[in-house]
């Protein structure tokens, strides 16, 4: 069926539907990764967004079956496709891979996610780079819909769990604030033999009724949308800082830790979404290649005196991490757990556990 992508400035791209045949709207973003579409599509940080893949050939290795380990799906980043819709240049109906069980198109149809192929992705990406990320909609057939802006609502509430879940039985207990946590973050903690208590984004961590309020360290997960929408999370993190509980944040967790410390955040023009973002440690020449997916960043100029920029992006010098000068509070804007992407910075999980007593 014929389909089209319409941007909020009126720009229209025509193509064909290869996913679920319905119209959808959201924030249009691009990802420059070459592989990893099953992981990217299931990443909760993409909730509310229409994902455009700049690599031209998508679908050629199909979609695998879900693999469960310790109650966690290990080859997808959540239990379902999280994007609003998918936009590609060339969808491959024929797929070949030893793990593949279905086509990308079939998977999208099963999960009722629309997708469009035949789009000039190069032209689309140049528009988004020059004008910035904008709202858009995939129109399938004659169904017309309104634009939807995920940044004006609390998308985190939609992707977080609703009641606490415990994993593992290690001696160290890590309380994980779920703002849309990727499954591979859970896996990375579990293989380091810790107990993870995963709680909703707005859970009262210090309630007398909470049986796990004796946790040893606090982890703040990745997630979608504007961090300033997560007021209860920010207040909880602030209490943890006051109690000097070790804190580690990833992606949205970096922004939330900064807000809890008293700093500010802002929206990037078009964000960082890829598996090859270079990040360097401030004051050194040490650089890592990282996996990233975010549209907001920490404003370093607003960091309080006891906090310092830890890492920066080598492409545009935006903040990629903060830390306290003397206390065990730190966070990074990228994904050390990767999946997809390089594992250069996975050691950060070990660095966190070193300061957890």
Q: Which residues are catalytic?
A: 251, 335, 337
Residue 245 carries which DSSP code?
-
Residue 123 main-chain phi, psi, to 5 deg:
-65, -40
Residue 357 CB burial class (10 angstroms; 0-12, 13-18, ≥19) = exposed
Q: 86 is written with which tokens?
A: 């998918």
Asked if residues 47 and 150 have their Cβ atoms less than 8 Å apart, the reply is yes
Instruction: Tell me the residue ranges of DSSP E strands in 113-227.
Output: 115-117, 134-140, 165-167, 173-178, 195-200, 217-220
Nearest to 274 by CA among 31, 51, 50, 82: 31
CA 249 to CA 321: how far, in whole Å?
9
Asked if residues 297 and 330 have their Cβ atoms less than 8 Å apart, the reply is no
Nearest to 181 by CA among 159, 202, 155, 166: 159
Task: List beta partners, residue 30.
Answer: 52
Residue 329 main-chain phi, psi, to 5 deg:
-125, 120
Residues 6 or more apart in contact with residue 126 via CB below 8 angstroms: none
Helix/strand/coil for 15 = strand
Asked if residues 339 and 39 have their Cβ atoms less than 8 Å apart, the reply is yes
Left if phi > 0, otherwise alpha if psi is -120 to 50, otherwise beta: which for 299?
A: beta
């Amino acid at each position: 069926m014929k389909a089209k992508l319409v941007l909020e400035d009126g720009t229209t791209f025509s193509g064909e539907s290869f996913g679920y045949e319905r119209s959808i709207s959201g924030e249009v973003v691009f990802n420059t990764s070459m592989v990893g579409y099953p992981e990217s599509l299931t990443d909760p940080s993409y909730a509310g967004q229409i994902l455009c893949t700049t690599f031209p050939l998508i679908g050629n290795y199909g979609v695998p079956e879900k693999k469960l380990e310790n109650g966690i799906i290990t080859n997808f980043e959540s239990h379902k496709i999280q994007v609003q819709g998918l936009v590609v240049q060339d969808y491959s109906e024929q797929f070949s891979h030893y793990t593949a069980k279905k086509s990308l198109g079939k998977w999208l149809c099963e999960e009722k996610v629309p997708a469009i192929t035949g789009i000039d992705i190069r032209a689309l990406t140049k528009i988004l780079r020059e004008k910035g990320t904008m709202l858009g909609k995939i129109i399938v057939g004659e169904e017309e819909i309104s634009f939807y802006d995920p940044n004006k609502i609390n998308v985190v509430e939609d992707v977080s769990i609703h009641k606490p879940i415990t994993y593992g039985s290690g001696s160290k207990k890590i309380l994980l604030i779920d703002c849309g946590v990727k499954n591979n973050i859970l896996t990375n903690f579990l293989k380091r033999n810790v107990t993870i208590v995963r709680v909703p984004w707005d859970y009262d961590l210090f309630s007398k009724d909470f049986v796990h309020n004796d946790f040893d360290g606090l982890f703040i997960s990745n997630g979608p949308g504007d961090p300033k929408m997560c007021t209860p999370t920010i207040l909880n993190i602030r209490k943890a800082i006051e109690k000097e509980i070790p804190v580690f944040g990833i992606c949205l967790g970096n922004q939330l830790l900064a807000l809890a410390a008293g700093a500010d955040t802002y929206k990037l023009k078009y964000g960082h979404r890829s598996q090859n973002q270079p990040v360097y440690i401030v004051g050194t020449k040490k650089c890592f290649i990282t996996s990233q997916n975010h549209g907001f960043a920490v404003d370093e100029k607003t960091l309080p005196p006891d906090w310092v920029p830890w890492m920066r992006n080598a492409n545009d010098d935006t903040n990629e991490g903060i830390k306290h000068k003397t206390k065990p509070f730190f966070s990074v804007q990228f994904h050390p757990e990767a999946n997809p992407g390089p594992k250069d910075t996975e050691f950060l999980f070990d660095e966190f556990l070193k300061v957890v007593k």
